[in-house]
Amino acid sequence: MSTITLSVPEDLKREMDEFKEMNWSEVARAAIREKVAQLAILKSITSKSKLTEKDALEIGRKINKSMHERFKKEHPGPY
């Protein structure tokens, strides 16, 4: 098995230390495993895409604008 070193802020480490029974290495392994699986799916989807980066950004902008308009209608008032 390979070894990696993980840095966490001191306040997080103090919180982790409150749960001595927790296997933090296994928690980290599970989180990394899940993220790798998500990235593999994303890679699979994007490898088949014919969209350019410019196209994807334009679609993203349109989605954001549409969501903003919907939110304004559902929740009128000052922001």
Where in the chain are the domains? 1-48, 50-79
DSSP the chain: ---------HHHHHHHHT-TTS-HHHHHHHHHHHHHHHHHHHHHHHHT----HHHHHHHHHHHHHHHHHHHHHHS-S--
Please report the pLDDT score of residue 27 as a whole number: 97
Please report the pLDDT score of residue 79 as a whole number: 65
Please report the pLDDT score of residue 40 as a whole number: 96
What pTM, to 2 d.p., does this model score? 0.62
Please give the chain's pLDDT, 79 residues, in tens: 999 999 999 999 999 999 999 999 999 999 999 999 999 998 998 888 888 889 989 999 999 999 999 999 999 887 6
Please report the pLDDT score of residue 37 as a whole number: 97
